[in-house]
Structure 1
């Protein structure tokens, strides 16, 4: 089964080898028919600490690396 790939913006890189990525999704409300934006934050593994706040990155599912990290950065 293929692993999910999401794209988002780095919002924090204060931790060692970890970045927080905010991923936004847009959908139409079923009743109001209005486009709604929702965002969710994911903690992702960044092996080389190369990504900074504001960078656009792609993250991919992986095996758990810590209590909160289930994603890894694959590209920018």
Structure 2
């Protein structure tokens, strides 16, 4: 089974080797038929601390690295 790849924006780079990425998706409301923006935060592994707040990144699923990290930043 292929690993999921998501794209988002870095919102925090304060932790060592970790970035927080917000992934936004658009869905249509089932009743109102209005487009709604939903977002979710993911913590991703960034071993070289190369990404800063505001950068657009792609993240990929990986084996658990820590209690909260299950994603890694694609180079």
Question: Does the pair score TM above 0.5?
Answer: yes
Paired residues, number: 75
Partner of 1:18: 18
User: After the TM superposition, which segments of 4 or more aligned residues of structure 1 sit over 2 Å from their partners?
Assistant: none
Cα deviation digits, residues 17-47 of structure 1 (max 9, x gap): 0000000000100000000000000000001
Partner of 1:6: 6
What's the C-alpha RMSD, in Å, of the aligned pairs? 0.4
2:71 & 2:15 partners in 1: Cα distance?
15
Report the CA distance between 1:55 and its aligned residue.
Answer: 0.1
Report the CA distance between 1:52 and its aligned residue.
Answer: 0.2
Partner of 1:43: 43
Partner of 2:64: 64
Structure 2: runs of 5+ lacking an equivalent: none
